[in-house]
Amino acid sequence: MTTRILTIIFSFVITLGFAGNPDRQGESGASELLLNPWAKSAGFHSMNTSFIGGIEAFRVNPAGIGRFDSNRELAVANTRLYEGSDIQLNALGYVQKTKNGNGAFGVSMSNVNFGDIEITTVDNPAGTGGTFSPSFFNIGLGYSHTYENKISVGILFRGISENLTALSAFGAAIDAGVQYVSGANEEFKLGISIRNVGTRMSFGGNALGEDVAIPNEGATYILNLENTSKSFELPSLLNIGASYDLYFTKFDDGDGNMIADRSMFLTIFGNFTSNAFSRDQIGGGVEFTYKNIFQLRGAYKYEIDSGGGSEGRENVYTGLAGGVSFMFNMRKAKDGEKAIDIPRASLDYAYRTTNPFRGTHNIGLKIML
């Protein structure tokens, strides 16, 4: 049964992912959907498709929404985009497992803060003295279900809003994904996700209006004509990733089975991203975990057919990324209490190289209850 489900989902996702036309590259909008506010997955260059879990799965693979070691997660994050540009990305998310533990649902919100931008006009190119602040906001509602801890499937519905002064655009998108776990110690993982498949968007509002003088029999009439904004598509993409956990020590459970000691291990991963409106990307990286206290990660992403130089690149994030996480218990364990019932917190940081600008910094706080 699980094999049949896995085959159907893989076929469906791959078909959708490669349905794009390469001739349309560079024609999409709403590029904020490609920004990742969560620090842990940002340190992977958002390439941890196969083993991502919890709140951060909202931005990479919704199949992982329910794969976390607690009952609930609450997270906040701040991103200083393209250091020197004064643009920030803020996010808030919450996810909770169902009573039987096989399902999980949650919500994630993010907003791009551009700061105050000076208003300039044709008559006042140096500025009018006023400012405006665009607002790019989106909210996602997601659900995932896990079958026998081997196969996870997830879906996410996202609402998109872009607002400028007297100008706005709205849209909706769907993300879907699957994760497969295998191995005696669940060391091998495979993940596929398709993101940002949705409606076309177009801007409308009073800012598109223009007053035009119409002469008529010696009199002049002022008419307000509204220009039509061309619609644009969302930046859909397909992620395919795999990972493998290398355990430093194993122990015998008494029945002849060798069980991995998960207190210290190394995760190796690779990922391929097919972008419908830009060049495809490939990359990989590693993460070291120590006693559920400390994690160190690094990744490298390469843009295919870019020629290897910065001049031919279309993505500002092609290159190195890295991050670190510090986990700690929020209180001491009570008598007879399991480790999973102890409230924990995680402080995450990531840095991604960019060209141009001086890199992007992500920082986030996650509470696991």
3-state SS record for 63-111: HHCCCCCCCEEEEEEEEEECCCCCEEEEEEEEEEECCCCCEEEEEEEEE
| Total domains present in the chain | 1
In degrees to the nearest 10, what's the CA dihedral of 367, 31, 276, 352?
-60
- Cα separation, 141 vs 130, in Å, equals 37
Asked if residue 357 is part of any domain, the answer here is no
Tell me what pLDDT residue 182 has: 92
| Phi, psi of 80, rounded to the nearest 5 degrees | -95, 100
Asked if residue 351 is part of any domain, the answer here is no
- Cα separation, 350 vs 286, in Å, equals 14
For residue 248, the surrounding DSSP H or E stretch is none
- Nearest C-alpha neighbor of 319 from the set 266, 348, 281: 281
Q: What is the pTM of this model?
A: 0.87
Could you tell me the two tokens for 356? 């141009």
> Three-state SS for 31?
helix
Asked if residue 368 is part of any domain, the answer here is no
Alpha carbon distance, N-terminus to C-terminus of the chain? 33
- Cα separation, 237 vs 9, in Å, equals 16
- DSSP 8-state code for residue 279: -
In degrees to the nearest 10, what's the CA dihedral of 227, 228, 229, 233?
180
Asked if residue 364 is part of any domain, the answer here is no
Asked if residue 183 is part of any domain, the answer here is yes
Q: Using an 8 Å Cβ cutoff, are 58 and 44 in contact?
A: no
CA-only gyration radius of the chain, Å: 23
Could you tell me the two tokens for 302? 């390469």
- Cα separation, 289 vs 308, in Å, equals 32
> Three-state SS for 66?
coil
Q: Which amino acid is at 274?
A: S
The single residue listed with the structure tokens 């006023």 is 130
CA 107 to chain centre: 13
> Three-state SS for 349?
strand
Asked if residue 57 is part of any domain, the answer here is yes
Which pLDDT tens digits describe the chain residue by residue (369 residues)?
Answer: 455 555 555 555 555 544 445 556 667 888 999 999 999 999 999 999 999 999 999 999 999 999 998 899 999 999 999 888 889 999 999 999 999 889 999 999 999 998 888 888 888 888 888 888 888 999 999 999 998 889 999 999 999 999 988 889 999 999 999 999 998 889 999 999 999 999 999 998 887 877 788 887 778 878 777 788 888 999 999 999 999 999 988 777 666 677 777 889 999 999 999 988 888 899 999 999 998 889 999 999 998 876 555 555 567 787 899 999 999 987 777 766 666 667 799 999 999 998 878 899 999 999 998
Q: Using an 8 Å Cβ cutoff, are 20 and 276 in contact?
A: yes
- Cα separation, 161 vs 167, in Å, equals 11
- Cα separation, 147 vs 259, in Å, equals 22
For residue 5, the surrounding DSSP H or E stretch is helix 2-17
pLDDT digits (tens, 9 = 90+) for 16-60: 544 445 556 667 888 999 999 999 999 999 999 999 999 999 999
- Cα separation, 330 vs 349, in Å, equals 19
Could you tell me the two tokens for 44? 């992977």
Q: Using an 8 Å Cβ cutoff, are 282 and 302 in contact?
A: yes
For residue 244, the surrounding DSSP H or E stretch is strand 237-247
Could you tell me the two tokens for 207? 């800012």
pLDDT digits (tens, 9 = 90+) for 217-230: 778 878 777 788 88
Could you tell me the two tokens for 246? 């290398």
3-state SS of 172-208 is EEEEEEEEEEECCCCCEEEEEEEEEEECCECCECHHH
Tell me what pLDDT residue 341 has: 67
- Domain extent, residue 117, equals 2-288
Asked if residue 345 is part of any domain, the answer here is no
Neighbouring residues of 174: CB distance < 8 A, sequence distance ≥ 6? 155, 156, 157, 158, 197, 198
Asked if residue 258 is part of any domain, the answer here is yes
